Structure 1
Amino acid sequence: MLSLKTIKIKIAETGIEHFCRRDSFLYDCLRDAGISLPSECGGHGVCGKCKVKVLPTSSLTPPSNAEKRLLTQEELENGIRLACQAKLIRNVEVAILSTIETYNIRLTKETQHCERDPKLIAKTFVISPERLGTSKGILEDLESTLNAQVRSLLVIKTLPQLSKKNEHRGKAIIYNDEILDLLPASSSRKLLGLAIDLGTTTLIGYLDNLENGENLAVSVQLNPQRVWGADIISRISIVMEKSKHLGALQKAVVKAINEMAKELCYKANVSCEDIYRIVVVGNPTMLHILAGVNPSSIAIAPFTPVFLRYLELSAKELGISQVHPACKISLMPHVSSYIGSDVLAGLISSGFLREMRALYVDLGTNGEIVLKAGKQIFATSTAAGPAFEGATIKRGSVAWQGAVDHVWIENGMLRYSVIGEREAETICGSGIVDLIAAALKSGLIDPRGRIVPPRRDGFEAFVREVDGERAVRLSEKVYLTQSDIRKIQLAKAAISTGIRILMEESGVSSDTLKIYIAGIFGTRINIHNAFKIGLLPSTSGENIVQLGNAAGLGARMILHNRNHERLINELRSCITTLELSTDSRFSDAFIENMSFPSENI
């Protein structure tokens, strides 16, 4: 019998019913039911993207001030609510208007063959019968033969059967000096490893054969933690509000890794039990959460994380189950609180270190920038935020099906392409950069970022009013409002100011730099348009290298070669970090970089 405090939620699309406590927020109930609604603000009533339709409307608490601000009167009258603001009063039927989707990206360079010198190897062994019966046991003799130690009772228990069936012949799986597994000599088990780029927005996994350096499969998912907020500060804030949220965040990413491992093994037609090692790169906050370590100190002065160094753990103790029980997981080291192992991995995989003068820009949520001038390396991170990944933009999204990814001017009109060649539903980062560049060129936007009456004939139709503010509109569903453009100006000013200060600090100019652009957004971006809006310093196109997922390739290189693991540990101590928030040059440069370039680059 249901308690009077229990509310029934029926999902209109499926008819499936879920139960939740009265006075719970609808957003939390849907999340617990496995339904991930878009929410860049982490359920704080700021982004307005967690819209649902409810029936009857009296089933929920009255609209909050945030809902009255973010929803139109017509939407409210039609039962549209923000799930993060509405609490349950009585049984309700909910229509889900949009969910977080998985999406596909182009991955090519990152799957190349890797040079091998792995820490994880398979080694055959023979224990001579003549040596049995001495003062040594089978275990000690095996350890002496392999020059490695057994540290697991499960491995020891395999010895009697193994020696009986195979006349003391077999194959050992060895990690450093530890014997992880013992197999019959005839075993066909493969030696596999998993390299993971754990990003704030995306989770990318690579399943590799450690015996030949080959990539077997790739998987890309949105980070499920996005439902708690699109950036790391939102997620830290959630943990600071209630410590129990740390467990929920960790559980979400561990579940995603387990699902990813299962999917990769299915694609490659191999067993999950063949995975003996995982290498993870990411920013410090993401790796703290994965390890179940509270990251709150990263957001509080003096911004000191719990750990920056390399950590080697058991996958089992983190709850990662779709691997071999003895699987090791290596969390790569970081430079500082906001410059993570994903940046270091990108540096070793990109060719950056071979240049005399080079700039590395990760166009992600945290906007990490590294500059090399001779033997000196400087680095900083910028509060770019997730705007270029579509978050906080009203019709923005990541690069998934239905997103506008490119915009151009053709025959006096704004034209665009859509991922999946379907109706345009949203606009992703590369499309946003193109649209702003086209709007500047056509006079729809002035250098200060204001939407103005167009200078060119025929462009009047692209300026409309949406929800009480001006917007540059591509279609009925896709547009950039004035407030959206301001958010892009803030993001691009943060990145361009960081680059400028690093160049001033090192005494180099942009025309002498080889510029490496990392990140999924950086793969799709039109470089000329990035120059035009002032996101990147203008230089010759020959000096630009668009890397794609450099962090993922770096993680794979570390997985296959112990020298790259040693290099990443050495590199972190060679980098001088600059803290922009305390740099006297930042404020003036940031304000100056808010404007778009007035010249047509």
Structure 2
Amino acid sequence: MALLSVYSTRGNYRFEVAEGRSVREALDLTDVRVRAACGGTGVCGACVIRLIGGDVSSPTPAEYLKLGPEQRTAGHRLACQLRIKGDAAIRLERPARFSPWKSIPPENLQPLVGCHPDVQSQPLGVAVDLGTTHIRIAVLDRQQGRCIATRYGRNPQGDFGADVLNRLEAARACPKRAAELAKLARGAIVRAVRDILARDIGEVTPMLAEIGQVLIVGNTAMLALLTGHGSDLLLDPANWQQSIDCRPHDLAAWRAHWPFPHAEILPVQPIGGFVGSDLLADVRATGLSDGPGGALLLDIGTNTEIALWDGKILHVTSVAGGPAFEGTGIRHGMPAEPGAIFRIRQEAASYRCETIAGEPAKGFCGSGLVDAVALLLDQGVLKPSGRFAAPVATEGYRFDPTNGRSAITSADIDAFQRAKAATAAAMNQLLAQAGMGWGEVHRLCVCGAFGRTLDIEHAQSVGLLPSLPHGAIELHADAGLAGCEQALLSLQGADYFNELIAKTRLVNLSRVADYEDRYIEQLRLRPMVSGSTVLL
């Protein structure tokens, strides 16, 4: 990784950047973006910056065409053409307007497979993973099988509460509130698409008419709130064992609210209860059901969804783990965004906090919280009960003495314990329901909130993950979006998942008598237990 120093009218920043990445690509992952309108080809010439110094690539033909001799002599470069080879510094005089939307890191994306040259009209497609906390978007050229660009950002429905039940209750209590929740999610998706069209194609309104299909996967609650159908059913536990119809009452009227005049807009129907179509997308993206039995998948988040493939049947369930894994519900929690502590390492008598993009620490995201709890447990600062071994300050235990936002509190640890216990208990219960044991599990795919940053050993030491060999545990970032992209390029739309749905068996944990006992069994901070046996 190289260090990129950015001096701008908005402030000065230092970012860790993968070598070989362009300055534009690097800054698109942060809150400081360059102006752009051509997708990084150098045609628009809008992303001019000044190189102060450092190890970077030589000027490209596009820069010779867009920048005059005097500009080049003064150090001006095009951010989309300037690639980082080592530490470097730039000056950004005219940054783009602030946007809540950031590009998804390229290393989190899966390669696209397939193209459809026969798609003659409206070649663009939009894949959407509608999550409780975040929304992820990809705009694809279906003719060429090419990803034009991606974005992720906060789901603005979070203003109504991090917990999905709060949002569902708000929708049921007031029809106007229900309409507002739907509008918030729809508006966020549209703004993300417009941001891609503006920056990566250079035209917005004409290109909106070139979108032929919008495919949306998500958990059941988010799909119900988006379409205005199914929220009431979800609030009745009697319906948690059955399919929830999240299709709009009047599809034509619902589509009229979207500014895509020729697009077929398809919310992929959930499996049932709180198990959504995002889990189907995860399974497709990881190929979980393509191999032998004994494959398990976790989609960790506020609503954690779990799938177990036994070779013939896909057993699925969900559990309300709480928002701790998403970086909310803890004092200094935050999503996995620039400034989030995503990794903590012990160095002699102190700790080193690593943050996303190398920015000053602003709080913990999910993987950072796992590291924090595991390290405190290992050092004896925490007891297996989750209590501090000795009193700590009211603000909590600081990992960086100079930064109050690096502190973790007793309440944070309690929230973490409850979330990890619910997840661990659900995995054990699903195995029991399928008549299987951990000895038969050869593969575990971890998707969702942690992306690729989870420390597997730390997650095992506190009991969040089972003690399987490391080669058996895979971290998949943005699998839900990848599965949605596959469906979009298949031209089958929502039908892409039908064969998988036919193999699915839904388990409602609220009706399983043993689950509560398993939950209590998993509360302590220790390697995961199965019955009275600690899994080592």
Distance of 1:214 and 1:310 partners within structure 2: 30
Partner of 1:108: 107
Residues 422-571 of structure 1 mapped to structure 2, 5 A cutoff: 422-453=359-390, 464-466=392-394, 471=397, 473-474=399-400, 475-511=403-439, 512-562=441-491, 565-571=494-500
The C-alpha deviation readout for 1:224-272, integer Å capped at 9, x for no partner, is: 1111111211101211332211111111111111111111112321522
Partner of 1:307: 245
Distance of 2:520 and 2:404 partners within structure 1: 33
Partner of 2:169: 237
Distance of 1:229 and 1:557 partners within structure 2: 32
- The question of whether the paired residues in 2 share the 8 Å contact of 1:113 and 1:213 is answered with yes
Partner of 1:125: none
SS state of the match for residue 444, structure 2? strand
SS state of the match for residue 552, structure 1? helix
The C-alpha deviation readout for 1:472-499, integer Å capped at 9, x for no partner, is: 5543222111111011000000000000
Query: What's the CA shift for 1:103?
Result: 5.3
Structure 1 gaps, min length 5? 1-98, 123-172, 174-189, 454-462
Distance 1:109 1:420, change over 3 A: closer
Q: 1:220 aligns with which of 152, 162, 175?
A: 152
Partner of 2:270: 334
- The question of whether the paired residues in 2 share the 8 Å contact of 1:246 and 1:294 is answered with no
Query: What's the CA shift for 1:311?
Result: 9.9
Partner of 1:121: 119
Q: In percent, how many aligned pairs have the same letter?
A: 27
Distance 1:318 1:530, change over 3 A: farther
Q: 1:257 aligns with which of 186, 189, 204?
A: 189
Partner of 2:286: 350
1:573 aligns with 2:502: yes
Distance of 1:318 and 1:337 partners within structure 2: 28
Query: What's the CA shift for 1:349?
Result: 1.5
Query: What's the CA shift for 1:506?
Result: 2.2
Partner of 1:591: 520
- The question of whether the paired residues in 2 share the 8 Å contact of 1:334 and 1:340 is answered with yes
Distance of 2:268 and 2:388 partners within structure 1: 45
- The question of whether the paired residues in 1 share the 8 Å contact of 2:124 and 2:211 is answered with yes
Query: What's the CA shift for 1:111?
Result: 4.8
Look up the equivalent residue of 1:307 and give its one-letter code.
Answer: D
Query: What's the CA shift for 1:299?
Result: 1.4
Distance of 2:198 and 2:174 partners within structure 1: 37
- The question of whether the paired residues in 1 share the 8 Å contact of 2:342 and 2:367 is answered with yes
Which 4+ residue blocks in structure 1 deviate beyond 6 angstroms? 309-312, 598-601
- The question of whether the paired residues in 2 share the 8 Å contact of 1:117 and 1:560 is answered with yes
- The question of whether the paired residues in 1 share the 8 Å contact of 2:227 and 2:254 is answered with no
Look up the equivalent residue of 1:196 and give its one-letter code.
Answer: V
Distance of 1:397 and 1:480 partners within structure 2: 13
Query: What's the CA shift for 1:106?
Result: 2.5
Look up the equivalent residue of 2:349 and give its one-letter code.
Answer: G
Partner of 1:149: none
Distance of 2:382 and 2:490 partners within structure 1: 50
SS state of the match for residue 195, structure 1? strand
1:359 aligns with 2:296: yes
Look up the equivalent residue of 2:182 and give its one-letter code.
Answer: Q
Structure 2 gaps, min length 5? 1-97, 528-533
Query: What's the CA shift for 1:326?
Result: 1.9
SS state of the match for residue 404, structure 2? coil
Partner of 1:54: none
Q: What RMSD, in angstroms, separates the aligned Cα atoms of the two structures?
A: 2.6
Partner of 1:187: none
1:320 aligns with 2:318: no
The C-alpha deviation readout for 1:63-82, integer Å capped at 9, x for no partner, is: xxxxxxxxxxxxxxxxxxxx
Look up the equivalent residue of 1:115 and give its one-letter code.
Answer: G
SS state of the match for residue 521, structure 1? coil
SS state of the match for residue 477, structure 1? helix
Distance of 1:446 and 1:501 partners within structure 2: 26
Distance 1:193 1:567, change over 3 A: closer
Partner of 1:74: none
Query: What's the CA shift for 1:378?
Result: 0.9
SS state of the match for residue 287, structure 1? helix
Distance of 2:162 and 2:111 partners within structure 1: 31
Distance of 2:154 and 2:198 partners within structure 1: 19
- The question of whether the paired residues in 2 share the 8 Å contact of 1:315 and 1:328 is answered with no
Look up the equivalent residue of 1:395 and give its one-letter code.
Answer: H
Residues 61-100 of structure 1 mapped to structure 2, 5 A cutoff: none
Distance of 1:240 and 1:313 partners within structure 2: 20
Distance 1:600 1:509, change over 3 A: closer
Distance of 1:417 and 1:600 partners within structure 2: 30
Distance of 1:101 and 1:478 partners within structure 2: 24
Distance of 2:276 and 2:249 partners within structure 1: 13
Look up the equivalent residue of 1:554 and give its one-letter code.
Answer: G
Distance 1:262 1:563, change over 3 A: closer
Query: What's the CA shift for 1:390?
Result: 1.1
Partner of 1:206: 138
- The question of whether the paired residues in 2 share the 8 Å contact of 1:314 and 1:326 is answered with no
The C-alpha deviation readout for 1:317-355, integer Å capped at 9, x for no partner, is: 35111x3x1211011121102111110011112110122
SS state of the match for residue 357, structure 2? coil
SS state of the match for residue 238, structure 2? coil
SS state of the match for residue 182, structure 2? helix
- The question of whether the paired residues in 2 share the 8 Å contact of 1:335 and 1:573 is answered with no
